[in-house]
Amino acid sequence: MAYTIVLDAGHGGYDNGAIYEGRLEKDDNLDLTLAIGEVLAYNGFDVIFTRVDDVYLSPVERAQIANAEDADLFVSIHRNSGPTPNEYNGVQTLIYDEGGLKQEIAENVNERLESLGFTNLGIDIRNQLAVLRRTDSPAILIEVGFINSDEDNVLFDERFTDIAYEIASGISDGFETEGTMPTQPMRQAQPMQPTQPMQPTQPMQPTQPAQPMRPTQPMRPTQPMQPTQPAQPMRPTQPMRPTQPMQPTQPMQPTQPMQPTQPMRPTQPMEPTQPMEPTQPMEPTQPMQPAQPMQPTQPMRPTQPMPANDSPVYRIQVGLFRTPSNATNLQYYMSRLGYTVDVVPQGELYAVQVGRLPSIERAQEIERALKLQGFDTLIVRE
């Protein structure tokens, strides 16, 4: 049984992340995430991507994917941004709290990226991020340099393949030394460390001599090789041999990077659950309010008493759309979360509103639950 790694390319869709001189964080994140996934998949890990296209997912959705897949590790890829261009540079990895596999892997990744020339800004504890807080598995968020640092961008572009390899190796190393994980031999770690001798106690498994493709993610069969780039190194059918590997010292081939923007049709669901519109930003990077104790698991009850006709009724608006299908998508998604949701036409727009609540207190209670789930909310009164 291979380890399942859920790789999460930060931001996406209308959420560009940080922007610097036309460079969008969401694109860097996706490119690198897919490259890391190829290395991991080739080396025997089961790799799941939260997104493989330019689509928006809420932080909670990303965590839910990892939980549904029973991930052994969740890795979110981001790029940092400072208030002033070229003020800061370096890599930093965020974890929910100290200790365990996540901290070990975070340290591995930081050190390995430092070896490529990045400044190592260390580990930061972030207990408010939904992707770290809501994931059942160990989770890390890697800020792979600052997108508004020219120095970091040069490293990102010129050492792109090495960065993917080093992050994958840092992950693999963590599983190799983690004592509490299943005892499957980490055969995948061997080809990823060509400079280290084979460990005699971890022989290659004869029944799995070739690095298995993840069966549910068959490496984009519908989009085979680009004929103009036949020698791409990251193809799972040929790369990462111990004898011709991704040595950090090996000169990079910046002119033939991964084909990041079109691979890996995922088998994961979440298609209907990307309903949010650019007109309704959801603050994906900091949705969780840690001090709010509400549990979001029992929001609306159909048995709720309806208010008298002359009493005010409150609803919680969670979206406002121009396109009706986007509103109904969100309605569908929220109904799956257990909410009673209506689409309310408002002029040319369509509001998605939760509940008919008899009191402002009750509305605030539900609103807290919604905020905990990453929604931007607005209480409205009928």
Residues that bind Zn ion (CB under 5 A): 10, 17, 78
- Name the phi and psi angles at 219, rounded to 5: 55, 55
| H or E stretch at 79 | strand 73-80
Nearest residue (CB) to Zn ion, 286 versus 311: 286
Distance of closest approach, residue 75 Cβ to Zn ion, in angstroms: 13
Distance of closest approach, residue 17 Cβ to Zn ion, in angstroms: 4
Residue 37 contacts residue 49 (beta carbons within 8 Å): yes
Nearest residue (CB) to Zn ion, 147 versus 369: 147
Nearest to 62 by CA among 376, 377, 374: 374
Nearest residue (CB) to Zn ion, 10 versus 239: 10
Nearest residue (CB) to Zn ion, 10 versus 248: 10
Nearest residue (CB) to Zn ion, 2 versus 141: 141
Nearest residue (CB) to Zn ion, 78 versus 133: 78
Distance of closest approach, residue 146 Cβ to Zn ion, in angstroms: 11
Nearest residue (CB) to Zn ion, 30 versus 234: 30
Nearest to 156 by CA among 54, 297, 18: 18
Nearest to 189 by CA among 204, 206, 210: 204
Burial of 195 by CB count in 10 Å (0-12 exposed, 13-18 middle, 19+ buried)?
A: exposed
Nearest residue (CB) to Zn ion, 92 versus 217: 92
d(CA 67, CA 51): 15
Nearest residue (CB) to Zn ion, 80 versus 329: 80
- Name the phi and psi angles at 320, rounded to 5: -140, 120
Distance of closest approach, residue 328 Cβ to Zn ion, in angstroms: 29
Nearest residue (CB) to Zn ion, 236 versus 284: 284
Strand 73-80 relative to strand 19-20, pairing: unpaired
Distance of closest approach, residue 10 Cβ to Zn ion, in angstroms: 4
- Name the phi and psi angles at 356, rounded to 5: -125, 105
Tell me the residue number closest to Zn ion, measured at CB. Answer: 78
DSSP state of 15: B
d(CA 170, CA 27): 23
Distance of closest approach, residue 264 Cβ to Zn ion, in angstroms: 21
Residue type, 274: Q
- In order, the DSSP letters of 267-301 are ----STT----TTS---TTS---TT----TTS---
d(CA 341, CA 315): 9
CA gyration radius, the chain: 22
Distance of closest approach, residue 32 Cβ to Zn ion, in angstroms: 12
Distance of closest approach, residue 313 Cβ to Zn ion, in angstroms: 38
As given in the structure block, the two tokens for residue 312 are 């005010």
Distance of closest approach, residue 132 Cβ to Zn ion, in angstroms: 13
Residue 21 contacts residue 147 (beta carbons within 8 Å): no
Q: How many CA atoms, within 13 angstroms, populate the side-chain half-sphere of residue 284?
A: 29
Distance of closest approach, residue 109 Cβ to Zn ion, in angstroms: 16
d(CA 79, CA 212): 30
